[in-house]
Amino acid sequence: MAIEKMLSEETPAAALIGRVLAEAGIEYVFGISGGHTGRIVASLGNYRNEIRTLLVREESLAGVMAEVYGRLTGRPGVMIGQGPWVLGNGLIGTLEAHLSSSPMLLLSDFSDAPPFNLHAPYQQGTGDWGSWDARRAFGGVTKAVLEAHDPSAAVQATQFALKHALSGKRGPVAVLYSQASLAGSVAPDSRPPLYPTRHYLPPPPAPPPAQTLASLARALAAARRPVIIAGNGVRIAKAYKALREFAETAGIPVATTAAGKGCFAETHPLSLGVFGTFGTAAANACVGDSDLVLVIGSKLSPSDTAWENGRLLDPSRQSFLQIDIEPRNASWNFPAEEVLIADAALALEGLIGETTKAAHRDGEARVGEYRRRHGYFDDPLSLSDKKPILPQRLIGDLSRALPPEAIVTCDAGENRILMTHFYQTKREEGFLQAAGTGPMGFAIPAALAAKLVHPDRPVCAVCGDGGFAMTMNGLMTAIEHDIPITTIVFNNHALGWVLHGSGPFAAEFGDFDHAAIARAMGCRGVRIEDPADLAGAITEALPSPVPTVIDVITSLETTFADITSPLAKEASPRRR
């Protein structure tokens, strides 16, 4: 059947880029109009019923919002803006997408000024003498960089970027437009010819080979003490339901990596929680005792595996099976006896059909025994009345007050480590943190994106006072775009990770009232110093139609060292 052309009349290239995004089903564009991309932003006004354009106060917000949108939906999040600032200010979201395989588009420019490209124009990124090289700079932190130097190329590059962002191992793709590419128009007879965007979108992933599925199922059935390790790849594939159904069918315990926390409800009778350096003792004991490990969507980084401590994971005494969409991740750190390169959801759905019901009838009993022996989200300090408020009490009240459908986003630093260890997720997709980079300033824009994706679910950003200060301008965006999130601030007047790891020099802050700052922006703001007031403040914040900041004066008494696994301490490179 003949393929129709895209155009029947001459159309400005910038307007066609808006059309490409609409044809691809893009729902949101995040950023700041600047440089030559202002033409694209203006054209998006014609698609406001299909694409919501969110003006942010700084590009780092746009980058994180685009990354999180892509990670949660599987559709590319789009960041737009001028070249130097999409690269510089927007880098934390781009780098996170690159390391965590989130589909993302960066629509930016060379900021060129023809015919003066060789005269070192202001901001120019063409790589000419006297200019910075945008292509090389973006190339180090993205999956691909596409250049557009004429109007037809501007449209095609946008279509190709969508294709690359979604194909195979997903990731961020940058499009750099020259002034000429966005200033001109495209005619029906322009060369190369243009076609509708749907032809450039990748097809659904192929089902995994039945023979490999059957082989994996046999190995799992023959194991005596198998365990599943689920990583961020489960989230990328949206394989939550498939993972739960497979684990229940096979009767196999499930541990997650820190990046995979939120992929499997930690209240499930087969759940062990997070394993590794800051994991639960129950998870580490069960993983260490297992004879077969099924790794799904994880690179098994050194921090995940307690610095590759052989008492936790060791291919010389344990069998490894691995499911991953990216061949480079297979047998990366731990040789796997069998590898399935496939989408995690399709692989798990296929395994369900190959698995005998309750093949391991003792799975829940094994998990229950490890929980009883080692404890499991039952720290007595979660009920402590000490002042300043202990992190365990704050996290305990958060766990108790938030409904099962709530989504928590985490920042970086000691507050995130404590949340990873002490906060118990009640259902899948209830916890989100940076999976590849760990930047401060992540929690608030991540929460904004999560609320856009799930407007009917409560969303709570958890950050330290350091991270809050970095992106509190995101609350202005929340007010302007009607995104009612709740923000919890661990206000201990310090960079906790730095202070407890290196000492107090250059690690301490003054006492700022973040609740008052929030009220000045138009948010609700509550300052909490008495633990008895915590639960009520959280409960009152959730239904609020405006963003709420709960500024909690917290203690520095509990440190990341207190919850570091002994396995990580004995294997850490710092000890050598």
The pLDDT of residue 574: 62
Average pLDDT score over residue span 60-67:
98
Name residue 378's amino acid.
D
| Residue labelled with tokens 């023809």 | 114
The C-alpha torsion from 287 through 433 and 236 to 292, rounded to 10°, is 0
Q: Check residue 68 and give its pLDDT.
A: 97
Residue 509: its pLDDT value, please? 94
Range of weakest confidence among 128-132, 394-398, 555-559? 128-132
Per-domain boundaries in the chain: 11-200, 210-374, 380-563
Can you tell me the mean pLDDT for 490-499?
93
Of 436, 435, 433, 405, nearest to 419 by C-alpha is 433
Give the global pTM: 0.96
Q: Name residue, tokens 């005596």.
A: 224
Query: Mean pLDDT, to the nearest integer, of 157-162?
Result: 98
Read off the pLDDT of residues 327-336 as tens digits, 9 standing for 90 and up: 999 999 899 9
For residue 415, give the nearest of 558, 515, 516 by alpha carbon.
Answer: 558
Rounded Cα gap, residues 286 and 266, in angstroms: 15
DSSP structure string for 108-147 = EE----TT-GGG--TT--B-STTS-BHHHHHHTTSSEEEE
What is the predicted pLDDT for the residue at 1?
Answer: 67
Q: DSSP letter string over 555-574?
A: -SSS-GGGGS-HHHHHH-GG
Per-residue burial over 80-96, b = 16 or more CB atoms within 10 Å of its CB, e = otherwise: bbbbbbbbebbbbbbbb
* pLDDT, tens only, 358-415: 667 899 999 999 999 999 999 999 999 999 999 999 999 999 999 999 999 999 999 9
For residue 438, the model assigns a pLDDT of 87
- pLDDT per residue as tens digits for the range 281-313: 999 999 999 999 999 999 999 989 999 999 999
* The pLDDT of residue 10 is above 90: yes
Q: What is the pLDDT of residue 120?
A: 78
Q: Please say if the pLDDT value at position 19 is more than 70.
A: yes
The mean of the pLDDT values for the chain is: 95
| CATH match for 380-563 among 3.40.630.30, 2.60.120.460, 2.40.50.100, 3.40.50.970 | 3.40.50.970
Q: Which residues contact 190 (CB under 8 A, 6 or more apart)?
A: 7, 151, 152
Closest CA to 333 of 344, 320, 343: 320
Domain 11-200 has CATH 3.40.50.970: yes
**What pLDDT does 576 receive?**
37
Domain 210-374 matches domain 380-563 at the CATH topology level: yes
* pLDDT tens, position by position, 496-539: 999 999 999 999 999 999 999 999 999 999 999 999 999 999 99
- Using the predicted structure, report yes or no on whether residue 556 has a pLDDT greater than 80: yes
Angle at 431 between CA 202 and CA 346, to 5 degrees: 35
Identify each DSSP E strand in 298-399 by its residue range.
Answer: 319-324, 338-341
Percent of the chain with pLDDT over 70: 99
Considering the chain, what percentage of its residues have pLDDT values greater than 90?
91
Residue 139 CA to residue 125 CA, distance in Å, equals 13
Is residue 575 predicted with pLDDT exceeding 50? no
Domain range 210-374, CATH architecture: 3-Layer(aba) Sandwich (3.40)
pLDDT in tens, 243-256: 999 999 999 999 99
How many residues are given for the chain? 576
The distance in angstroms from the start CA to the end CA of the chain is 67
How far apart, in whole angstroms, are the C-alpha atoms of residue 53 and residue 32? 10
